[in-house]
């Protein structure tokens, strides 16, 4: 079923610049286009689907793509018009991608034009791959491909169980997973999936969430599935599981959009066998949630609701959230990451000069994972290192304590000193040492009876 956007409309010029987020032009010719879904193939190639953020609620099937890290985004359409929308989009390189396409008619009736579409020429033309998620009784939620041949797609419940298909020949033919391949929690009355609510981790694990709070998980490219009840409530504007983010097949979190437009989070450490709610500090925004690959436990959340917008990160698996600098109140849409230095978050392009201003942000800093340190023992990290003198100080395990920062030069003299107050288990602060000469220094952190040091380089 279509994932609704709650009060996510373009509010203003989208050309703001932040310390860590750099604006890029998504390239859409029509103004106020937002980014509904992002698939980052690698540091250069990214595919993203758009939606109408003007407030008019038009259904569109427009997408945009970059093959040079976002310096140039090239838009396109799959079918054109305002009948069909994109559930999600998935590429394996800059030329080959697939999209799940549904009918957005007010009647909700689907048809034989819906299903999976494939491009092999970078999005110039799209070919309908028949045999999956077509007809009035189907709904094309999501599609994913691991390589040029192996892929899966899924829809809602049909014939009493979820409609999931797999392919081993690039989508030329599809095979539906039989009902006997589904185990775990039983299908509930009125249960369905959400467009864009899909997660893939490792080499063969894929998951999708439902409006009844379940997570469906497959570890064999979508052939067999196990359903678990996450604890996400089957109520609200967007019922059930609205976001999924896993760092591996065992450890991950799901989010449910609450009335404050934040995500209520639920976590598992055993692949979904058991779940527990997270009582989070800070704001986990309700728009999008993504794990940062290669990190110990870093996640990013984004939000663009007119009542709560911004972008935040967590180093401890969603328990503690910190806003990125100057992003509170700024609209950030769907996000996806390649590593801790490469990520994108959608925005709205400009209403006046749409093709050249706004529509996407690219992360330009380094998200350093420091909360793998035991909070009981404490720790800190200064990053990026080396830098031009603008550092971030992240502290662990110093709640309700004063933190003193001293910086020593090569002969042992203090060249910088400050006192900070920490009222959270972790926090991040700016450390501006641009007044110091280039060279090697030692930063010292003192909190209570704890003293720790780190070499830093200004270049």
Give residue 424's pLDDT band: very low, low, confident or very high (50, 70, 90): very low
DSSP state of 19: S
CB burial class (10 A; 0-12, 13-18, 19+) of residue 403? buried
Quick one: pLDDT at residue 370?
53
Quick one: pLDDT at residue 5?
67
Quick one: pLDDT at residue 326?
84
Q: Which helix (H) or strand (E) segment is 335 a member of?
A: strand 335-339
* DSSP β-ladder status, 182-184 and 225-229: parallel
pLDDT greater at residue 406 or residue 452: 406
CA distance 343 to 38: 10
The region of weakest confidence among 21-25, 95-99, 281-285, 445-449 is 445-449
Please say whether the dihedral angle defined by the alpha carbons of residues 165, 195, 248 and 334, taken in this order, is positive or negative: positive
Walk me through the domains of the chain, giving residue ranges and CATH numbers.
21-363 (2.130.10.10), 379-458 (2.60.40.3080)
Q: Which helix (H) or strand (E) segment is 35 a member of?
A: strand 33-40
pLDDT greater at residue 427 or residue 331: 331
Alpha carbon dihedral 90, 47, 87, 337, in 10-degree steps, equals 80
pLDDT greater at residue 236 or residue 120: 120
| Cα→Cα distances 212→155, 156, 244, 365, 451, Å | 15, 12, 14, 38, 49
Cβ pair 64, 355 in contact under 8 A: no
The region of weakest confidence among 148-162, 167-181, 306-320 is 306-320
Instruction: Specify the 3-state DSSP secondary structure of 180.
Output: helix
Instruction: Specify the 3-state DSSP secondary structure of 166.
Output: strand
Instruction: Specify the 3-state DSSP secondary structure of 447.
Output: strand
What mean pLDDT is reported for the chain? 91
Task: Retrieve residue 54's tokens.
Answer: 């003007």
CA distance 183 to 181: 7
Quick one: pLDDT at residue 369?
59
* DSSP β-ladder status, 205-210 and 193-201: antiparallel
Give residue 371's pLDDT band: very low, low, confident or very high (50, 70, 90): very low
pLDDT greater at residue 320 or residue 277: 277
User: What does the pLDDT average to over 442-446?
Assistant: 87
pLDDT higher than 60, residue 221: yes
pLDDT higher than 90, residue 385: no
User: What does the pLDDT average to over 218-226?
Assistant: 98
């Amino acid at each position: 079923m279509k994932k609704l956007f709650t009060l996510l409309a373009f509010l203003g010029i989208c050309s703001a610049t932040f310390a860590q987020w750099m604006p890029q032009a998504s390239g859409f010719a029509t103004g106020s286009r937002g980014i509904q879904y992002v698939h980052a193939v690698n540091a250069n190639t990214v595919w993203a689907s758009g939606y109408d953020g003007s407030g008019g609620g038009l259904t569109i099937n427009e997408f945009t793509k970059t093959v040079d890290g976002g310096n140039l985004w090239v838009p396109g359409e799959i079918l054109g018009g305002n009948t069909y929308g994109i559930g999600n989009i998935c590429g394996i390189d800059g030329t080959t991608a697939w999209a799940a396409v549904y009918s957005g008619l007010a009647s909700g009736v689907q048809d034989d034009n819906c299903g999976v579409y494939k491009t092999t020429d970078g999005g110039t033309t799209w070919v309908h791959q028949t045999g999956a998620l077509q007809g009035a009784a189907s709904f094309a939620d999501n599609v994913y491909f691991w390589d040029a041949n192996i892929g899966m797609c899924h829809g809602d419940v049909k014939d009493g169980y979820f409609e999931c298909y797999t392919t081993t020949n690039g989508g030329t033919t599809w095979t539906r997973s039989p009902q006997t391949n589904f185990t775990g929690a039983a299908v509930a009355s009125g249960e369905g999936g959400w467009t864009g609510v899909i997660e893939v981790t490792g080499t063969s694990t894929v998951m999708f969430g439902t409006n009844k709070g379940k997570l469906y998980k497959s570890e064999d490219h979508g052939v067999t599935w196990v359903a678990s009840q996450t604890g996400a409530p089957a109520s609200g504007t967007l019922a059930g599981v609205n976001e999924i983010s896993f760092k591996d097949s065992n450890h991950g979190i799901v989010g449910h959009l609450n009335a404050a437009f934040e995500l209520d989070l639920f976590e598992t450490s055993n692949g979904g066998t058991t779940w527990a709610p997270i009582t989070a500090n800070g704001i986990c925004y309700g728009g999008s949630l993504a794990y940062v690959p290669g990190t110990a436990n870093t996640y990013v959340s984004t939000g663009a609701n007119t009542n709560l917008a911004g972008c935040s990160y967590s180093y401890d698996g969603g328990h503690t959230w910190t806003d990125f600098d100057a992003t509170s109140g700024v609209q950030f849409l769907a996000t996806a990451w390649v590593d801790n230095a490469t990520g994108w978050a959608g925005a709205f392009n400009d209403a006046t000069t749409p093709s050249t201003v706004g529509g996407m942000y690219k992360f330009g800093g380094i998200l350093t994972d420091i909360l793998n340190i035991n909070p009981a023992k404490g720790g800190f990290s200064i990053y990026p290192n080396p830098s031009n003198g603008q550092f971030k100080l992240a502290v662990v395990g110093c709640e309700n304590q004063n933190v003193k920062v001293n910086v020593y030069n090569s002969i042992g003299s203090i060249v910088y000193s400050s006192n900070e107050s920490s009222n959270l288990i972790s926090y991040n602060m700016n450390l501006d040492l641009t007044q110091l000469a280039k060279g090697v220094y030692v930063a010292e952190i003192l909190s209570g009876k704890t003293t720790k040091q780190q070499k830093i380089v200004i270049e």
